[in-house]
Structure 1
Amino acid sequence: MINGNTFAEMALSFPGTEQRPHFDRVGFRVTGKRMFATYLASDNTANIFLTPGEQALFCAMDTVHIYPVPNKWGEKGATTFNLNGVGKELVLEALISAYNDVRR
């Protein structure tokens, strides 16, 4: 299980990242650019902003704990990770993908 502090440490481990409030969530973005992930403490989930192709790959790895956000953002690649059931390595791979996509 990954808790909120661990997720924040992972998301902020990339160069030039920052943490900011985002409605009821904590957002993580590349400074001066858009967000690549958010965290919601109330249900210990993270939304990681992947490409639709990457989303399909991650969702296929774990259909129970990884799934598209159920709205228009999900159609664009926003993917929910239930941090109570996914491994740290898998979440880190998703964060790397999302971070690299925003950083370009």
Structure 2
Amino acid sequence: MGSEDIGIDRGAVSAVTGALTDAGGSFDQIGRTLPAVVDAGLATEVVASMLATLGGCGARLVGANASLVLTGEQCIATYTGADVAAAERFLVTGGHPDAP
């Protein structure tokens, strides 16, 4: 299978990166609603620890999500650039693979 057999649905990748961006915003918003101070009586320390863990995990999810979005966008850009280069080669060579 050659590289010409590989296709990427740019619309599908864009849809996924858009959904990931929305999800990242939702996670970020949830993190902003966590209380800064907890007063739960005898359970204050445990509840504060749980909220700190939740906040830390959420922050890592948002960061990983941003990396996935960037990777998807770079994939689209690279694939589009390869399409343009292939089209230019086709126009120059007339579609003959042996042409210089």
Could you tell me the TM-score, scaled by structure 1's length?
0.25
Normalising by structure 2, report the TM-score.
0.26
- Whichever of the two has the greater Rg, that structure is 2
Instruction: Name the one with the larger helix percent.
Output: 2
**Greater fraction strand:** 1
Higher relative contact order (CA 8 A, sep 6+): 2
